[in-house]
Amino acid sequence: MNAPLSPLVRATGAPPIPAARAWAARYHGQAGPAIDLTQAVPGYPPHPDLLARLAEAAGTRAAAGYGDITGDAGLRAALADDLARRYGAAFGADDLAITAGCNLAFAMAMTAIAAPGDQVLLPAPWYFNHEMALRMQGVDAVALPCRAEAGFVPDPEEAGSLLTSATRAIVLVTPNNPTGAIYPPATIAAFAGLCRQRGLWLVLDETYRDFLPGDAPPHGLFADPGWGDHVIHLYSFSKAYCVPGHRVGAIAAGPALREQLAKVLDTMQICPPRAAQAALTWAVDGLRDWRDGNRAIMAARATAFAAAMAGVNSWRVDALGGYFAYLRLPDAAPDALRAAEHLAAERGLMGLPGPFFGPGQQRHIRLAFANAEADAIAAVPARLAGLWT
């Protein structure tokens, strides 16, 4: 007889990306080289100077030892300066905690603010790891519908109607994963006002903020001196610096949250990876121009993807931005799970079906175009041609 396992973990779905890639194991190259657009991975290498600094830092005695629970002071100070530049607001190193990736940042923030039986509103379609983290903690993920006809931007008034006495937070992800939708500053401000009024946390995941067009602040929340009383900000170094394997993220929050978060940080991670922190401390300022250049690369790939899809009449790009395109299936196509499996196994085009991102997504597939060079993007229409027209 097997020993028992956590019912919460057992009730959580399997990791989606390995499931989708398993379909591609049946592909034998009949349409050309496989095109993997499943995972949000930077489609270019890290800067060589960053790689050199990572290697150097990894060989030091300091990197082999424990660091501060909230992350190394140098990286927190560098990120605070970067946030101040981006948002035009005051930040200090003490406002920040460095984490072992942004997924863990989310999970630890949820641990600090929610208990089993509580509710958290997630924009739906949602980032599947957010829902998985909540489910494992016994927290109910309540879908906040984001509809194609509204550009997949959530409605604060609709969110207000979904709140109950068990609600502890509303999560926003912008630019969004999976849709790529960018939430207008006024919408973000309205959600912040709703959370302040109702005594809730606004958890704002801006993993892809470095790929927003233009230099205007994405929102004005940090101009409010009291933002830390109701806002938790999440950030990832993975995409901007092409270092997802080094697992470095960050949380910005007020002192009350940080006091409780320290307990979670110490329990779940002890400290973030030391070598990566040392290298990134230099990179935040030292690679500023390179980072801006990567934003231009991603914008060009988005433009190329939109242009390539313009000639595929039976498929529709319902949203595009950041790293992602959210495609609506042709009317004659099967449901998204079967369609995605067919594309991977028979056409060598790997994407993630909408149901991986929550309820009501049976007619969509997400493609992470940021992974692909120009030739792979140009090949996408041929992989879709003739299917379900």
Question: How far is 55 from 179, CA to CA, in rounded Å?
Answer: 35
The chain-wide mean pLDDT, for the chain, equals 96
Cis peptide bond upstream of 125, omega within 30:
yes
Give the tens place of pLDDT for each residue, 173-200: 999 999 999 999 999 999 999 999 999 9
**Per the CATH hierarchy, to which homologous superfamily does domain 7-45+290-384 belong?**
Aspartate Aminotransferase, domain 1 (3.90.1150.10)
Per CATH, 7-45+290-384 and 60-286 having the same topology is answered: no
* CA-based nearest residue to 351, from 312, 300, 375, 317: 317
Q: Where are the alpha helices (DSSP H) in 25-101?
A: 48-58, 61-64, 73-87
3-state DSSP assignment of residue 325: strand
**What is the pLDDT, as a whole number, of residue 283?**
98
- What does each C-alpha distance from 16 to 208, 245, 354 come to in angstroms? 20, 18, 11
CA 60 to chain centre: 31
**What is the pLDDT, as a whole number, of residue 194?**
98
Q: Where are the domains of the chain?
A: 7-45+290-384, 60-286
Contact indicator for 106, 172 with CB cutoff of 8 Å = no
Question: Which residues touch 169 (CB under 8 Å, ≥6 apart)?
Answer: 110, 113, 114, 120, 121, 195, 200, 201, 202, 203, 232
DSSP collapsed to 3 states, 252-312:
ECCHHHHHHHHHHHHHHCCCCCHHHHHHHHHHHHHCHHHHHHHHHHHHHHHHHHHHHHCCC
Contact indicator for 345, 300 with CB cutoff of 8 Å = no
Give the tens place of pLDDT for each residue, 307-340: 999 988 899 999 999 899 999 999 999 999 999 9
Question: How far is 271 from 65, CA to CA, in rounded Å?
Answer: 10
Give the tens place of pLDDT for each residue, 36-77: 999 988 888 999 999 999 999 999 999 999 999 999 999 999
Residue 151 scores a pLDDT above 90: yes
CATH topology of domain 60-286: Aspartate Aminotransferase; domain 2 (3.40.640)
